[in-house]
Structure formats: structure tokens, C-alpha cells
């Protein structure tokens, strides 16, 4: 993450929080092999404003967005393992050759009860 990415994301987070909107933050916490983005890359899923930042795009990011919907629903953080190690000779977009772990967490409150103690 560059300082500018950091700043953009921080402002988006603060704006969502001040508007009282719950959103989801996804952070790449570990990678193995080649991945489009590295540890520390972040994406904010704001149900109102869309996506801010990226964790690499493509199928991997789609998995993270699916997880974000679950997290938004029940408030419980998830750790998603995204596997991009399909055969190099295939035309799949998931051929970077690596695996990454993405931590997906809620920022703000959900109305529904969650199993997570506060």
C-alpha cells in the first residue's frame, strides 16, 4: 500500500463510520508464491459507495466480495484463503501461481445479533 492508498482508504472508512454505515474491510494478511497484490493490500466494501481499493481483482477478489456479504450479514470476521494456483497453461485468470489469506471484518455495527461477544 502506498501512502496515498492508505489515505484514500482511511478517509473512506472514516466517512462510512461518520455516516453510521456498516461496511467490510478486507486485508491481505499472508501470501505464498506470486499474487497480484501483497500483504497489506486492502479493499473496503461499502454497500453504499461500492469498492475502494483492490485485493487483486478477478476471481480471487470475487471470493472476497462473497465473504464480505456474509460478514456484513452476521458480523463475524472471516479468513478466506484464495487459491490462484491453477495450471499456468490454462487461460483462467487465476494463474498468478500463488495463494493468499484475506482477513474480512466488519467496520461499524450491524442491526442483527451476532455470535461475536463485544
Could you list the residues that contact other proteins (CB under 8 A)? 1-7, 9-10, 13-14, 16-17, 25, 27, 29-30, 39-40, 76-77, 79, 101, 103, 105-108, 116-117
Burial of 32 (0-12, 13-18, 19+ CB in 10 A): middle
Coil, helix or strand for 14?
A: helix
- Closest to other proteins by CB, 29 vs 62, is 29
Residue 55 Cβ, how far from other proteins at the closest point, in Å?
14
Separation of alpha carbons 36 and 38, rounded Å = 7
Q: 42, 9 in Cβ contact below 8 A?
A: yes
* All cell numbers assigned to 9: 482508504
- Closest to other proteins by CB, 39 vs 62, is 39
Within 13 Å, how many C-alpha atoms sit on residue 4's CB side?
0
Residue 53 Cβ, how far from other proteins at the closest point, in Å?
12
Residue 116 Cβ, how far from other proteins at the closest point, in Å?
7
- Closest to other proteins by CB, 2 vs 91, is 2
Amino acid at each position: 500500500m502506498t501512502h496515498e492508498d492508505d489515505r484514500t482508504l482511511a478517509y473512506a472508512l472514516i466517512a462510512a463510520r461518520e455516516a453510521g454505515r456498516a461496511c467490510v474491510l478486507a486485508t491481505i494478511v499472508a501470501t505464498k508464491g506470486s499474487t497480484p497484490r501483497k500483504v497489506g493490500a486492502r479493499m473496503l466494501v461499502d454497500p453504499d459507495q461500492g469498492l475502494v481499493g483492490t485485493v487483486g481483482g478477478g476471481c480471487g477478489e470475487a471470493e472476497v466480495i462473497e465473504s464480505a456479504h456474509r460478514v456484513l450479514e452476521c458480523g463475524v470476521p472471516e479468513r478466506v484463503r484464495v487459491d490462484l494456483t491453477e495450471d499456468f497453461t490454462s487461460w483462467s485468470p487465476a494463474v498468478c501461481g500463488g495463494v493468499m489469506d484475506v482477513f474480512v471484518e466488519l467496520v461499524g455495527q450491524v442491526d442483527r445479533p451476532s455470535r461475536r461477544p463485544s
